[in-house]
Chains A and B, each alone.
Chain A
């Protein structure tokens, strides 16, 4: 149980384009979903927290207009990187937690974004 999927697993795009990453909880209802970014050999940095049906809460320093997050249902959250630049290239990971156990987060496999 507690499986979280992400799609795509890898994406390469041109500078200036937008990229959408999907995060799905496959066998539980995700009350809360989190989006992280990981740079090589560094820790996971929380970008934003999203609760189903409400606006995402962004961490300090994360541009909400650049990283659009939508949590439209209890099983799906999307992260859209708008007008991507090479510095947005990174490994993006989502996690999900349920109302039954809000303190345990289950992570997706991650999405490797490369912006040319």
Chain B
């Protein structure tokens, strides 16, 4: 039972354009979400987070949107750069559980074309 889903395994975007990565979750108890970026043979790097009390969080070129009713979040990268090419994971947690555990999606491989 995949509680966090990233239905697009890959995405290609032209440099300078917007990249939109999507993530859906099924557990309504999830209330804190993270996006990570991962290069091959390396550990994930934290990008941005969002709590369920917000519907948007912005950090430079990265913006995360949360739609609680649809149980959907998305990561927008504007403008996309070739260095953004990596695998992006969304992760969800329940703050109420107090365990700080995350469930990760399967990742979306982003390729930014120069």
User: Does any Cβ of B come within 8 Å of A49's Cβ?
Assistant: yes
Q: How far apart are A5's CB and chain B's nearest CB, in angstroms? A: 10
Whether A46 pairs with B102 at a CB distance below 8 angstroms is yes
User: Does any Cβ of B come within 8 Å of A109's Cβ?
Assistant: yes
User: Does any Cβ of A come within 8 Å of B25's Cβ?
Assistant: no
| Known contacts A106-B46, A110-B42; A49/B101 CB under 8 A | yes
Q: How far apart are B99's CB and chain A's nearest CB, in angstroms? A: 7
Whether B43 pairs with A93 at a CB distance below 8 angstroms is yes
Tell me, in angstroms, the Cα distance from A4 to B43 when the chains sit together: 9
A13-45 interface with B by 8 A CB criterion? 32, 34, 41-45
Whether B93 pairs with A103 at a CB distance below 8 angstroms is yes
Whether A49 pairs with B49 at a CB distance below 8 angstroms is no
Q: Chain A residues near B105: list those with CB within 8 A.
A: 43
Residue of B nearest to A94 (CB): B43
User: Does any Cβ of B come within 8 Å of A77's Cβ?
Assistant: no
User: Does any Cβ of A come within 8 Å of B95's Cβ?
Assistant: yes
Tell me, in angstroms, the Cα distance from A23 to B93 when the chains sit together: 23
- Chain A: residues with Cβ within 8 Å of the partner, total of 27
Tell me, in angstroms, the Cα distance from A39 to B2 when the chains sit together: 15
| Known contacts A44-B44, A110-B42; A105/B89 CB under 8 A | no
Tell me, in angstroms, the Cα distance from A101 to B106 when the chains sit together: 25
CB-contact partner of B43 in A102, A103, A108, under 8 A: A108
User: Does any Cβ of A come within 8 Å of B34's Cβ?
Assistant: yes
CB-contact partner of A32 in B36, B89, B93, B100, under 8 A: B100
| Known contacts A43-B106, A46-B102; A107/B44 CB under 8 A | yes
Q: How far apart are B39's CB and chain A's nearest CB, in angstroms? A: 10
User: Does any Cβ of A come within 8 Å of B45's Cβ?
Assistant: yes
Whether A103 pairs with B42 at a CB distance below 8 angstroms is no
User: Does any Cβ of A come within 8 Å of B32's Cβ?
Assistant: yes
A sample of 15 cross-chain residue pairs with beta-carbon separation below 8 angstroms, ordered by A number, consists of A32-B100, A34-B101, A43-B104, A43-B107, A44-B89, A44-B104, A46-B103, A49-B101, A102-B100, A104-B49, A107-B43, A107-B46, A108-B43, A109-B41, A109-B43
